[in-house]
Structure 1
């Protein structure tokens, strides 16, 4: 399951893109049982979260897991994002995009 900031237009667009290409369960933070998932509203406003049983991945690691799940060329990128130096670049890119997401198509909550 991927939990994302449902108040963020950019995040919603990304979630829609994933939904069109996969059967990954996507849930906006406002619709999720955050407490049951061990997350807080603050967590989901700062990062996207991949939740699989009791395992949670955030930020670029969650994005990498989504890409891996998509398979094909996306899956190769997801695999590459697990190892340095690609993982470092992924973390940096995620932070840059997350910190500026309001510039990518609308406001964020």
Structure 2
């Protein structure tokens, strides 16, 4: 897929949807947000398992997941957000961002906007 970036997120997760709304209102999301549940994941070169695990940024045939997808969201937004996005790509901040993203993704059902459904596998929601 090429052209406008696409941000694949979990459309069944209240926390994920709250993050998308925040990015649209406060950061200036410059990607088309698409719930992975309604996307042709194979066309993006990914799987359901990966989409369930992390947000994905798809652009020009490249796919970035997790903290690196968040970095792409920030980089595309322009200054001052792009500075933070670029910083998240450089070790050791890249490693810290990856670690932090994993903690948030595993606990998203406990965070504001999250629901108990966020903790369930997609096939049980």
Q: Which bracket does the TM-score occupy, shorter chain normalised? A: over 0.9
Other-structure match for 2:3: none
| Number of residue-to-residue matches in the alignment | 109
Is the counterpart of residue 38 in structure 1 residue 45 in structure 2? yes
Which is worse superposed, 15-24 or 99-108?
15-24
Partner of 1:9: 14
CA RMSD of aligned residues (A): 1.2
Q: Is the CA contact (8 Å cut-off) linking 1:19 and 1:26 kept in structure 2? A: no
Gaps of 5+ in 2: 1-5
Superposed structure 1 runs of 4+ greater than 4 Å apart: none
Q: TM-score, normalised by structure 1?
A: 0.92
**How far apart, in 1, do the equivalents of 2:14 and 2:51 lie?**
14
The SS at the match of 2:80 is helix
Which segments of 5 or more consecutive residues in structure 1 lack a partner in the other structure?
none
1:72 and 2:62 matched = no
Query: Which deviates more, 32-41 or 46-55?
Result: 32-41
Could you say which structure has the larger radius of gyration? 2
